[in-house]
Amino acid sequence: MKLNNLTPAKGANGREKRIGRGEGSGHGGTSTRGHKGAQARSGYSRKIGFEGGQMPIQRRLPKFGFKNPNRVEYKAVSLSMLQSVSERYGVDVIDIDIMKQAGLASKTELIKVLGNGELTAKLEVVANAFSKSAIEKIEALGGKAQII
């Protein structure tokens, strides 16, 4: 293969459609726009969602759903995660800063401690919310569950 015998693929190069250059071109007269109507005029632009006069989909489909603006969303942290954090950092008091430092939640998330998993250490846990089972398990070992 050499540069002098490179050619485009068959059918890749078509001639440009020259519109409005007389009847002999095959694209004169109405210039491929059909007869009359808005789409034949200059300056026409179809509105977003316009379906040719048919009722558009955003009007055919009903509204549904509801987003509660007052919803409070928590990041769930299990007791087994707290157990591993206390072993890794060697602490008895686990607050939100330690949990975020351990990667259990991001900077802006609120934390709720759930009662999943086993807890063996006596811990003092500080969080935004607790489940009933988490409070029972923490206090059964002599620990403390403190809500901010």
pLDDT per residue as tens digits for the range 39-91: 899 999 989 999 989 999 999 999 999 999 999 999 999 999 999 999 998 99
Contact (Cβ atoms closer than 8 angstroms) between residue 148 and residue 126: yes
pLDDT at 1: 84
Q: Where are the domains of the chain?
A: 19-47, 74-147
The string of pLDDT tens digits covering residues 18-42 is 999 999 999 999 999 999 988 899 9
pLDDT at 52: 87
Q: Is 0.75 surpassed by the pTM of this model?
A: no
Q: How far apart are CA 130 and CA 109, in angstroms?
A: 15
Architecture of domain 74-147: Ribosomal Protein L15; Chain: K; domain 2 (3.100)
Q: Counting every residue, how long is the chain?
A: 148
CA nearest to 79, candidates 69, 87, 90, 71: 87
